Amino acid sequence: MNTLERFAIAGGNVLLPSGFQEDAVITVDNGVIVEIGSEVNGLPFLNAHGLLVMPGIIDLHGDAFERQIMPRPGVHFDLQLALAETDRQLVANGISTAYHGVTFSWEPGLRSRETLVRLMEAMQAATGHLSCDTRLHLRHETYNLDGEDEVLTWLAEGRVALLAFNDHTPDILRKRGHPKDAMTILQRTGLGAADLQALAERVAERANEVPASIRRLAASARANGVPMASHDDPSPEVRTDYQSMGCSISEFPKTLETATLARQYGNPVVFGAPNVVRGGSHLRNAVSAAVMARAGLCTVLTSDYYYPAMLPAAFRLREDGICDLPSAWAMVSSNAAKAVGLTDRGSLAVGLRGDIVLVRTPTGRPPSVAAHFIGGHLAFAAKGAPRLQTPHKMRTLEVC
């Protein structure tokens, strides 16, 4: 379908880099914001009265799509169907740019090489069919030494948008003797307990090879301009080691001291939005994202395992008195963009992409997306969303 090349959004409370501005008019032309003023200048326009007009959300770490691929243990669905359904969830929740967190592990099953390669191929084939700007966040298990050469190739080919270093092997070794804790791992791998234990022990025997592998991968990421994150930093010493390799994003640091050091380094520090919305982590040993935000130690929120959490998390931070809404929204937009070097989005400013979310804030109900533009195209419109007006008549903007 064709869409209007040039239109305006008027009448809302607009979040600009300087703060909220009532009745600012945003003009979009060919997917780019070209003017922020006070008049629609005869253009077709959306009347956003009563709505907040916000930059599109940028999700740097989302792996909820794994449940679209395998909603029950051993039950797999077509990857194109899974990506399409995930895309609908993303745009309905205001997410304009999504980094799919795909784990490349030594495990068989859901996090295996086979699944990763198939998903990479499916993502490439889906280009042009998805509304959300979807990218690959490769979560490389550091003990997956046999996968190193392929990751080096993918980095050089530009197929990885964000590289994260994961180290879940010690955790898997700890859980293997506890049936309840090990169940999730057994289900996603399809292995029996004895086979999982044997495999994990063989992998762990190569621990002395891991540090050099990390350094080679980090050097390749630097050379190819790929941003890097370290996941679940357990201590300040580990964060310092990654910092020395140019790995400047700290994802889900385990301790207050580690997060504090990361901020002293100037690192973006990432936590999960579900943690904020639920009022705490589902993990017993995890720190609270809200506590970290109150201390100034959380700069980016991600969907983690639940896409709908990002939008309400920003409002929850405001409601709890942790920060104002512009600061909270920066955690899901401009801060995220800066963390991975996206210079064309994250704010409503002239010259940036027209990634724009119109947000309802009904009393007594969660905030929700009324309409969502991605690159100037209408990607989602809820029931009762404002219609595009001309000076003489009303008509609906076509959904692309």
- In the prediction, which pLDDT does 193 show? 82
User: For 204-248, how does the pLDDT look when each residue is reduced to its tens digit (9 = 90+)?
Assistant: 999 999 999 999 999 999 999 999 999 999 999 999 999 999 999
Decide: 304 and 274 in contact? Cβ < 8 Å: yes
Judgement on whether residues 166 and 232 belong to the same structural domain of the protein: yes
Q: Is residue 174 part of a domain?
A: yes
29 and 118 co-located in one domain: no
Question: Which CATH number do you get for residue 155?
Answer: 3.20.20.140
Task: For residue 396, name the pLDDT band (cuts at 50, 70, 90).
Answer: very low
Q: 3 pLDDT band (50/70/90 cuts)?
A: low
Residue 73 or residue 300, greater confidence:
300
* pLDDT tens per residue, range 266-304: 999 999 999 999 985 655 556 789 899 999 999 999 999
Q: What angle do CA 313, 317, 318 make, to 5 degrees?
A: 120
The Cα 324–Cα 328 span in angstroms is 6
User: Do residues 323 and 363 share a domain?
Assistant: no
Task: Using the predicted structure, report yes or no on whether residue 180 has a pLDDT greater than 80.
Answer: no
The span from the CA of 138 to the CA of 103, in Å, is 6
Question: 299, 322, 339 — which closes off a domain?
Answer: 339
Same structural domain, 298 and 387: no
Q: From residue 255, how far is each of 127, 129, 260 by CA, in Å?
A: 39, 41, 9
Q: What is the model's pLDDT at position 281?
A: 60
Dig out the tokens for 41 from the structure: 């200048």
Structural domain of 225: 57-339
d(CA 358, CA 346): 15
User: What is the band of 398 on the pLDDT scale with cuts at 50, 70, 90?
Assistant: very low
Note the pLDDT of residue 65: 86
Same domain? For 29 and 80 the reply is no
- The residue ranges of DSSP E strands in 106-156, in sequence order, are 133-141
Alpha-carbon torsion 333, 334, 335, 340, what sign?
A: positive
Which residue, among 390, 394, 377, has the nearest Cα to 5 in the 3D structure? 377
The contacts of residue 174 (CB under 8 Å, 6+ apart) are: 181
Domain-located, residue 356: yes
Q: Is residue 372 scored above 50 in pLDDT?
A: yes
One-letter amino acid for residue 314 of the chain: A
186 and 249 in a common domain: yes
Please tell me whether residues 201 and 335 are part of one structural domain. yes
Backbone dihedral angles phi then psi of residue 370, each to the nearest 5 degrees: -85, -45
Whichever domain contains 380, its CATH number is 2.30.40.10
- Number of domains comprising the chain: 2
pLDDT band at 388 (very low <50, low <70, confident <90, very high): confident
